[in-house]
Amino acid sequence: MGSWEEFYATHLPPADFEDNRQLLKQFCENHLKDQSQNIVLVTSGGTIAPLEHNTVRFVDNFSAGSRGSASAEYFLERGYAVIFMFRTKSLEPFTRHFSGQQFLDMLDIIENGENSSISVKPDSVDVLFPILQKYKQAQETNRLLYVNFTSVSDYLWLLRAACECLAPFEKRALLYLAAAVSDFYVPEEDMPKHKIQSTGAPKISLDLVPKILKPLVSSWVPQAFVISFKLETDDSLLIQKSREALIKYNHKLVIANILHTRRYRVVMVSPTTEQEIVLSKEQVHSGLEIEEPIVNEIVKRHEQFQKPDQ
């Protein structure tokens, strides 16, 4: 594995990087002045590791973006300014409630010649109204910024740019790193320019992505409250791996989850505590999302962390 410095030195920023950096700067400057304004960076969705420069094939990391997009909504409800850094085409706050054709099914055409219009079906108003209201409120108060990535390299460039803008918030900044980030990739210099031809079985050799949490916690945002997520499929490794991450990176909290139970069970692992959040079947059926108690618990811990004697 190369160092993180080497990664940035050998991988060019994405084409839209400067535009996104300006957006991040502007958004953060707007909120920095208000001393009572907390800010959270929510990362969401999976990164890809391309196998070719002109990318036809890639290795993807699993994540629909449910965790990040739902959490972003709950952070907004709790008054945070939210930078939502997400994988292109993964779930986004608010629109996540209407997947596929569901949105179109909520609308009716009112035929009236040149004055034809569109209306929301009466029985859909109850569903759409509260979501639209919250979305509008977030827009009007300028508390939600969307920036997107596709590859792990895009993600790492954006993450560092976001950290530069978040550092001045000191303890008011929260990082909620829910994106599923590639551990392995094909380094730039080993990647073929064009589509790999199917003339023989290709030998693809993947390298380790540098562990970015290390510089992030120790020097990019040293005063922020940093939370990472740990995804495993083997329950017997989950807590041990989360503890190892806390020791290695020295951040505040790991939210541990197992792929198949992630919608109703997580464990919050801190250097000194372990707290399980579990939803019952009834709670899941009634529409409660686990991100609501997760965010409530985090907001509580972030408040505690910001108290002057902490």
Question: Of the candidates 231, 253, 279, 294, which one interacts with ligand 9Z3 according to CB under 6 A?
Answer: 231
Query: From the CB of 178, what's the least distance to ligand 9Z3, in Å?
Result: 5
**Shorter beta-carbon distance to ligand 9Z3: residue 72 or 81:** 72
**Cα-based distances in Å from 93 to 31, 113, 134, 208, 281:** 20, 36, 10, 31, 24
By CB under 6 A, tell whether 65 contacts ligand 9Z3: yes
Q: DSSP string spanning 117-184?
A: EEEE-HHHHHHHHHHHHHHHHHHHTT-EEEEEE-BHHHHHHHHHHHHHHHGGGGGGEEEEE-SB--SE
Of residues 203 through 222, those in contact with ligand 9Z3 by CB under 6 A are none
Instruction: Name the token pair of 72.
Output: 């972003």
Instruction: Name the token pair of 234.
Output: 């083997």
By CB under 6 A, tell whether 181 contacts ligand 9Z3: yes
By CB under 6 A, tell whether 174 contacts ligand 9Z3: no
Query: From the CB of 181, what's the least distance to ligand 9Z3, in Å?
Result: 5
Rounded Cα gap, residues 193 and 189, in angstroms: 10
Query: From the CB of 179, what's the least distance to ligand 9Z3, in Å?
Result: 6
**Shorter beta-carbon distance to ligand 9Z3: residue 38 or 47:** 47
Rounded Cα gap, residues 169 and 33, in angstroms: 9
By CB under 6 A, tell whether 176 contacts ligand 9Z3: no
By CB under 6 A, tell whether 180 contacts ligand 9Z3: yes
Query: From the CB of 59, what's the least distance to ligand 9Z3, in Å?
Result: 13
**Shorter beta-carbon distance to ligand 9Z3: residue 20 or 66:** 66
Rounded Cα gap, residues 70 and 248, in angstroms: 29
Q: Are strands 39-44 and 173-177 parallel, antiparallel or unpaired?
A: parallel
By CB under 6 A, tell whether 229 contacts ligand 9Z3: yes
**Shorter beta-carbon distance to ligand 9Z3: residue 67 or 302:** 67
Rounded Cα gap, residues 206 and 199, in angstroms: 21
**Cα-based distances in Å from 243 to 154, 230, 259:** 28, 10, 18
Query: From the CB of 26, what's the least distance to ligand 9Z3, in Å?
Result: 28
By CB under 6 A, tell whether 64 contacts ligand 9Z3: yes
By CB under 6 A, tell whether 72 contacts ligand 9Z3: no
Rounded Cα gap, residues 169 and 175, in angstroms: 12
Coil vs helix vs strand at 269? strand
Question: Of the candidates 21, 67, 251, 252, which one interacts with ligand 9Z3 according to CB under 6 A?
Answer: 67
Per the CB < 8 A criterion, the answer to whether 295 and 76 are in contact is no
**Shorter beta-carbon distance to ligand 9Z3: residue 147 or 246:** 246
Query: From the CB of 10, what's the least distance to ligand 9Z3, in Å?
Result: 22
| Interface contacts to ligand 9Z3, rule CB under 6 A | 63-67, 177-178, 180-181, 228-231, 257, 262
